[in-house]
Amino acid sequence: MKQIIKNFNKYKFLLSELVVKEIKLKYRRSYLGILWTLLEPLLTMLVLTMVFENFYGRKDNAFPIYVLTGRLLYAYFSNATKSAMKSIRTNGQMIKKVYVPKYIYPLSSILSQFVTFLISLIVLVGVAIVLKIRPTIYLLEAIVPLLILFVMVLGIGLILATLAVFFRDMEYLWGVILMLIMYCSAIFYDPTRVIKTGYGWILTCNPLYSVIVNFRNTVIYGIPLDRGALVYSSLFSVIALIIGIWMFYKKQDEFILNI
């Protein structure tokens, strides 16, 4: 254990370098640069609001922020797991030449995506002010679903990173699964309609949905975290992390033979 911590300290700078690099290069060639991190969720929110408000004929004042919160959390989940999955292959050249603790690669991509996500929360603040959403004391609890989400993404990211080294088609498979998760997370629709038709269990089974519910509770509605959702999503995340670490650790010596 001490050896792992010592090793981590030696490569702390590398971790920060890799995180900074991904963020820097993400927007280096584009015209608006980092502004896109703010514009993209805003524009998506506007489109989704326009489409689904008219579709459902709802005139809910909080709908835009309802959609935005779901969308932001899902986007982080999707982008971070995808980039963690590709991280070993992307850094293949480096892995073949120099020793670096390999978990640094998926960890750095998840961290850089998290930083981008945090920046995009500025949009959330802006929209909340415009819609006159009043923050309550429970806003502080919003950190909890975010932390749970981070652990969840790390666990799933490690599992995917390991699998993707050995199975190239993992990327396509995960893309389909992500789409499924998107439709089952009540991002742009009201869950009560789904629950009425008896398919509510799909939502409760989806750990991302639990995270979104809790985030919305604390940020939009100003009520405390939902116990059930909290327990389910934290349990899921911790188990995912344990499985991810175990798989990654067991298979990492074979990575170099497959990239």
Partner 1 sequence: MGKVVIKVDRLGVRFLMSSEKVDNLKEFVIKKIKHQMNYKQFWALRDVSFSVEQGDRVGILGLNGAGKSTLLKVIAGVMKATEGNASTKGRIAPLLELGAGFDLQYTGAENIYLYGAVLGYSKDFIKEKFNEIVEFSELGDFINVPVKNYSSGMKSRLGFSIATIVEPDILILDEVFAVGDAKFRKKSEKKIKSMFKTGVTVLFVSHNIEQVKTICNKAILLEKGTLIAQGEVNDVCDIYEMKIK
Residues interacting with partner 1, by CB under 8 A?
10-11, 13-14, 17-18, 21, 25, 28, 93-100, 166-170, 173, 253, 256-258
Q: How far is the CB of 94 from partner 1 (least distance, A)?
A: 5
Phi-psi region of 135 (alpha: psi -120 to 50; beta: other; left: phi over 0): beta
Contact residues for 62 (Cβ-Cβ < 8 A; gap 6+): 131, 133, 220
| C-alpha–C-alpha distance, residues 96 and 218, integer Å | 46
Q: How far is the CB of 231 from partner 1 (least distance, A)?
A: 33
| C-alpha–C-alpha distance, residues 11 and 212, integer Å | 34
Yes or no: say if 255 and 102 are a contact pair by the CB < 8 Å rule. Answer: yes
By beta-carbon proximity to partner 1, the closer residue of 94 and 231 is 94
User: Exposed e or buried b for every residue in 191-203, given b needs 16+ CB within 10 A?
Assistant: eeebeeeeeeebb
By beta-carbon proximity to partner 1, the closer residue of 22 and 141 is 22
By beta-carbon proximity to partner 1, the closer residue of 56 and 251 is 251
Contact residues for 86 (Cβ-Cβ < 8 A; gap 6+): 109, 164, 171
Q: Which residue has the tokens 């850089």?
A: 112
Q: How far is the CB of 166 from partner 1 (least distance, A)?
A: 7
Q: Which two tokens stand for residue 216?
A: 């919305």
Q: How far is the CB of 237 from partner 1 (least distance, A)?
A: 25
Q: How far is the CB of 186 from partner 1 (least distance, A)?
A: 30
Q: How far is the CB of 24 from partner 1 (least distance, A)?
A: 8
By beta-carbon proximity to partner 1, the closer residue of 96 and 193 is 96
Q: How far is the CB of 222 from partner 1 (least distance, A)?
A: 43
By beta-carbon proximity to partner 1, the closer residue of 204 and 258 is 258
- In what helix (H) or strand (E) does residue 117 lie, and over which residues does it extend? helix 104-130
By beta-carbon proximity to partner 1, the closer residue of 18 and 230 is 18
Which amino acid belongs to residue 3? Answer: Q
By beta-carbon proximity to partner 1, the closer residue of 90 and 204 is 90
Q: Which two tokens stand for residue 42?
A: 């805003």
3-state secondary structure of 37: helix
Q: Which two tokens stand for residue 152?
A: 């969840």
